[in-house]
Amino acid sequence: MNKTDKTVIETADGWRVEDLEEIKEYRDLFYFLVWRNIKALYAQTIMGFSWAILEPLIQIVIFTIIFGNVAKVATNGMPYFLFVSVAVIPWTYMSSAMSESSMSLVGSRAMLGKVYFPRIIYPLTPILSKLVDFGISLLIIVVVLIYYNVPLTINVLLLPVFMIFMITIPIGVGLWLSSLAIRFRDVKFAMQFFIRMLMYTAPVVYAASSIPDQYRFFYSLNPLVGVIEGFRSCLLGQEIHWEYILPGAIVSFLIMITGAIYFKHMERIVVDVI
Amino acid sequence: MSTKEYAIRVDNLTKLYRIGMKDKVNETFAGTLLNFLKSPLNNFREYKSLYSFDDVSLDDCDDQNQESGVLCALRNVSFSVEQGEAIGIIGGNGAGKSTLLKILSRITHPTSGRIEIMGRISSLLEVGTGFHPDLTGKDNIYLNGTILGMRKAEVDRKFDEIVAFSGVEKFLNTPVKRYSSGMTVRLAFAVAAHLEPEILIIDEVLAVGDTAFQKKCIGKMQDVAKGGRTVLFVSHNMAAVSKLCNSALLMKDGRLIKSGNVDDVIAHYVTSITDKTSDVLSERQDREGSGEIKIQSVDYLNEQGKKIESPLSGSVLVIRMRYRTYSENEFRNCRVSATIMKDHRPFILLDSSVVGKDKIVLSGTGYINFIIPELPLSKGEYHISTFIESDKEILDWVDAAAELSVIDGDFYGSGKCYPSRAWAGKTVLVKHDVNIVQDN
């Protein structure tokens, strides 16, 4: 028996940081929770994982009809279908991971009260499980790029960097909102508006270049702008506008760090308040 | 064993809870309107205060202070458990047992105090935590196993054993939602039974299911305790506690009031519970459930519907539970039961669902009658526990809510009753006759 295995339980006051060692201890559980989410999501559906393609595809078609054909949004001469496809895919991931992560604690009430494991696993689970959908939906991008005969450039090597950037956004938002939601269920209602608002402030259906220059800095504080711009530049071989990307990256990083601290602070009361 | 070899040491543990604060009631429309407008601010303050206890001292909540809305679930509890010891935690509803378990399992944090735990700890407050109905039996074994603290490699190793124990081999690739409830519980318990922590914390909810299953549970827990592991066991079932544990802790109103040899502690508890019943039932705090309905009183009536102090053996007994709802809601699909207990062990269960009344709706105030046509109990002292649930959620559950003292009556219609001398086996009365046939 390993007698050095000593746990101390004390009143946890003040602010602490996540114990990474502890999370590592629970990695098998983390893995199975992610896997449960993936497996259970499409259980008893006819289409199964095809939904991961259909959902963004339908969105792309609708946007192409409304913003491409009816409103005729300027795309710097690019076919609208191509233009919007490379943005909708990361957007779908971010919005679904964000909303699921935000409701993760409230939705796991029963489990929270019955068993302990590092609570941060709850909001992080959907971040990872949604990546499977994202991976599948990348197929749309591949097909669209081939269809429009877009040549790959050296920029595509930067895509993994933007994917990591993409993941930090729902992590930060999820940590903040899931811990706020345990006290204030208002989050559930505000979430809908919040996500819709994010979509229109980000250049999903229009080009970031249509924003007047003097507002560019404020505009690019929104981390979504950087992710979408980054995806477009990498995949369509355009010049990378770092001025759209860096401010948002810093903001997203800060949201993630403060979110982790706030989450840890709220963690100790979650069961009593939820 | 030296005192150094402790497995758990609890030091001055205190846990406070905020309970619902009273709403201010306004008499005027304007006041109500103003309150409505101010409510976001008030809500914010209230939710914020939920976890801040800077303004409260322990003395404040001495008699369940309703004014401050603070409930003291544990106060300055200290004890230690030696390694390899099996210890039972007993006490009435609301005594703080579950809170103690939750803190030991790290589900909730203490308000003050300190706990040291030596060794790997696993707690079983429920079987089947995290079971997903859409996943197969096999998937759920892995999921549940890791949730309970096992490593994947550990589940791999014990997988065949778990499957054999559960007896659901044929359905391993079937989603759990297609299982019967019995199969689900068996599978869940099979996973739990194969945990091998150094310290195991078990809540009484484990002892559900049919008798054979309960025996299996208790048997498995005994094995665990004998295997040199430290076991903490919370239960209402004194028989199980005395069988499984060698020592016990008795809790009452958040305090640890007695500890030591298991039989002594149980004896102390059984006597103390008897004094409890003199309190006014509707005001008793040692109850469990949401509190949206509370049993106000328990009365006994005779055949004519007249209130009586003590019923006679063999006579009609109506146990009348008066209830009151504390919310506007109507409670549907209620199940109500009254358990007659002897020496704090369940003896007779009167239950609405077994007699086929399963669509009970409760609202406002009223009473529930349990009718026993011929009381089959002999002279003696009994207790009645009351229980109400709606849609499987416990609304009110009071252990030993009332005393019942039965007087000898003419159960056999012979004008005779058992002599007061110690004849064994005369607690339950059964109509019978005796025939004597002489061989010629």
pLDDT at A258: 94
Is the domain of B18 the same as that of B115? no
Determine the average pLDDT of the residues in A221-248: 91
For residue B337, the SS3 value is strand
pLDDT at A33: 92
pLDDT at A152: 87
Q: Which of B265, B312, B276 has its CA nearest to residue B385? A: B276
Q: If pLDDT is split at 50, 70 and 90, which confidence band does B53 have? A: low
Does B106 contact A272 at a Cβ distance shorter than 8 Å? no
Q: Is residue B215 one of the residues assigned to a domain?
A: yes
- pTM to 2 decimal places: 0.74
pLDDT at B188: 87
Determine the average pLDDT of the residues in B377-403: 88
- Provide the CATH number for the domain around residue B212: 3.40.50.300
Candidates A2, A24, A32: best to mutate against B (most CBs of B within 10 A) is: A32
Determine the average pLDDT of the residues in B4-18: 84
Does A115 contact B198 at a Cβ distance shorter than 8 Å? no
Final residue belonging to a domain, choices B74, B102, B133: B74
Q: Is residue B27 one of the residues assigned to a domain?
A: yes
Q: For helices B181-193 and B152-166, what crossing angle results, to 10°? A: 130
DSSP one-letter code for B407:
B
Whether the predicted pLDDT of B292 surpasses 90:
no
Percent of chain B topping pLDDT 90: 15
The total of structural domains in chain B comes to 3
A117: which chain B residues are within 8 Å (Cβ-Cβ)? 147, 149
Determine the average pLDDT of the residues in B8-21: 81
Round the average pLDDT of chain A to a whole number and report it. 89
What distance in Å separates residue A214's CA from the closest CA in chain B? 38
Q: How many residues are given for chain B?
A: 440
Is the domain of B170 the same as that of B22? no
Q: Are B374 and B329 in contact (CB under 8 A)?
A: no
Q: If pLDDT is split at 50, 70 and 90, which confidence band does A248 have? A: very high
Q: Tens digit of pLDDT for each residue in A194-219?
A: 988 888 889 999 988 888 888 888 99
Lowest mean pLDDT segment, chosen from A45-49, B67-71, B98-102, B267-271? B67-71
Determine the average pLDDT of the residues in B259-287: 77
More confident call, A46 vs A228: A228
Q: How many CA atoms lie within 13 A of B40 on its CB side?
A: 3
Determine the average pLDDT of the residues in A35-61: 88
Any chain A CB within 8 A of the CB of B21?
A: no
Is the domain of B159 the same as that of B256? yes
Whether the predicted pLDDT of B25 surpasses 60:
no
B102: which chain A residues are within 8 Å (Cβ-Cβ)? 113, 271
The two three-digit tokens of residue A122, written as one number? 């709850």
Lowest mean pLDDT segment, chosen from A48-57, A195-204, B379-388, B401-410? B401-410
The two three-digit tokens of residue B94, written as one number? 């609301």
Whether the predicted pLDDT of A226 surpasses 50:
yes
Does A3 contact B118 at a Cβ distance shorter than 8 Å? yes
Determine the average pLDDT of the residues in A79-98: 94
pLDDT at A2: 43
Q: Tens digit of pLDDT for each residue in A104-120?
A: 998 888 888 888 888 99
Does B123 contact A115 at a Cβ distance shorter than 8 Å? yes
The rounded radius of gyration (Å) of the Cα atoms in chain B is 25
pLDDT at A137: 94
pLDDT at A23: 85
More confident call, A149 vs B267: A149
Is the domain of B171 the same as that of B136? yes
Find the CB nearest B111 among A8, A11, A111: A11
Any chain A CB within 8 A of the CB of B237?
A: no
Determine the average pLDDT of the residues in A225-249: 91
Q: Tens digit of pLDDT for each residue in B93-151?
A: 778 888 898 899 888 888 888 999 888 888 888 777 888 888 899 999 999 999 888 88
Round the average pLDDT of chain B to a whole number and report it. 82
Determine the average pLDDT of the residues in B217-230: 77
> What is the ipTM for the molecules in this complex?
0.84
Q: If pLDDT is split at 50, 70 and 90, which confidence band does A57 have? A: very high
Q: Tens digit of pLDDT for each residue in B33-52?
A: 777 777 777 777 766 666 66
pLDDT at A173: 94
Is the domain of B141 the same as that of B254? yes
Burial A125-157 (b: 16+ CB within 10 A, else e): bbbbbbbbbbeebbebbeebbeeeebeeeebee
Q: If pLDDT is split at 50, 70 and 90, which confidence band does B157 have? A: very high
Q: For chain A, what are the domain ranges? A: 20-273
Determine the average pLDDT of the residues in B378-400: 88
Final residue belonging to a domain, choices B22, B51, B74: B74
Q: If pLDDT is split at 50, 70 and 90, which confidence band does B26 have? A: low
Is the domain of B30 the same as that of B171? no
Which range in A58-67, B282-291, B322-331 is most confidently predicted, on average pLDDT? A58-67
Q: Is residue B429 one of the residues assigned to a domain?
A: no
Q: Is residue B193 one of the residues assigned to a domain?
A: yes
pLDDT at A113: 85
Does A28 contact B146 at a Cβ distance shorter than 8 Å? yes
Final residue belonging to a domain, choices B219, B254, B274: B274
Domain range spanning residue B37?
Answer: 6-74
Find the CB nearest B129 among A39, A114, A272: A114
Any chain A CB within 8 A of the CB of B58?
A: no
What distance in Å separates residue B379's CA from the closest CA in chain A? 43
Dihedral over alpha carbons B70, B72, B76, B77 (to 10 degrees): -160
Find the CB nearest A32 among B104, B115, B146: B146
Does B175 contact A8 at a Cβ distance shorter than 8 Å? no
Candidates A5, A26, A114: best to mutate against B (most CBs of B within 10 A) is: A114
Label residue B363 exposed, middle or buried (CB < 10 Å: 0-12, 13-18, 19+): middle
Q: Tens digit of pLDDT for each residue in B405-432?
A: 888 877 887 777 777 666 777 778 888 8
Q: If pLDDT is split at 50, 70 and 90, which confidence band does B65 have? A: very low
Determine the average pLDDT of the residues in A53-58: 93
- Provide the CATH number for the domain around residue B339: 2.70.50.60
Which contiguous run of DSSP H or E holds residue A33? helix A27-41
- Sign of the Cα pseudo-torsion (A35, A41, A46, A52, in order): negative
Is the domain of B362 the same as that of B383? yes
- Sign of the Cα pseudo-torsion (A40, B182, B179, B390, in order): negative
Determine the average pLDDT of the residues in B382-394: 89
Say how far apart CA B227 and CA A103 lie, in whole Å.
42
Is the domain of B349 the same as that of B399? yes
Does B198 contact A11 at a Cβ distance shorter than 8 Å? no
Which range in A222-226, B186-190, B193-197 is most confidently predicted, on average pLDDT? A222-226
> CA–CA distance from A208 to each of A75, A235, B78 (Å)?
9, 16, 63
For residue A21, the SS3 value is helix
Is the domain of B324 the same as that of B180? no
Whether the predicted pLDDT of B162 surpasses 60:
yes
Dihedral over alpha carbons B286, B291, B297, B300 (to 10 degrees): -100
pLDDT at A234: 92
Say how far apart CA B438 and CA B440 lie, in whole Å.
6
pLDDT at A186: 85
Say how far apart CA A29 and CA A267 lie, in whole Å.
19
Query: Taking CB atoms and an 8 Å cut-off, how many pairs form between chains A and B?
Result: 119
pLDDT at B2: 45
A112: which chain B residues are within 8 Å (Cβ-Cβ)? 107
More confident call, B357 vs B208: B357
Whether the predicted pLDDT of B1 surpasses 50:
no
**Chain A residue set in contact with B, beta carbons under 8 Å:** 1-3, 5-12, 28-29, 31-33, 36, 39-40, 43-44, 110-117, 183-184, 268-269, 271-273
B151: which chain A residues are within 8 Å (Cβ-Cβ)? 28
Lowest mean pLDDT segment, chosen from A182-186, A207-211, B224-228, B387-391? B224-228
Does A1 contact B198 at a Cβ distance shorter than 8 Å? yes
Is the domain of B253 the same as that of B326? no
A24, closest residue in chain B (CA to CA):
B151
Find the CB nearest A32 among B142, B149, B198: B142
Whether the predicted pLDDT of A3 surpasses 60:
no
Is the domain of B182 the same as that of B237? yes
Does A31 contact B152 at a Cβ distance shorter than 8 Å? yes
Determine the average pLDDT of the residues in B174-187: 86
Whether the predicted pLDDT of A47 surpasses 70:
yes
Does A183 contact B48 at a Cβ distance shorter than 8 Å? yes
More confident call, B64 vs B122: B122
More confident call, A229 vs A271: A229
Determine the average pLDDT of the residues in A36-60: 87
Q: If pLDDT is split at 50, 70 and 90, which confidence band does B20 have? A: low
Determine the average pLDDT of the residues in A7-33: 81
A44: which chain B residues are within 8 Å (Cβ-Cβ)? 134
Is the domain of B244 the same as that of B150? yes
- Concatenate the DSSP letters of all residues of A159-185 into one string: HHHHHHHHHHHHHHHHHHHHHHHHH-T
Q: Where are the alpha helices (DSSP H) in B124-151?
A: 137-147
B142: which chain A residues are within 8 Å (Cβ-Cβ)? 32
> CA–CA distance from B19 to each of A38, A273, B62, B389, B397 (Å)?
38, 10, 15, 21, 18
Say how far apart CA A175 and CA A168 lie, in whole Å.
11
Whether the predicted pLDDT of B208 surpasses 80:
no
What distance in Å separates residue B299's CA from the closest CA in chain A? 37
pLDDT at B391: 85
Lowest mean pLDDT segment, chosen from A234-238, B123-127, B143-147, B354-358? B123-127
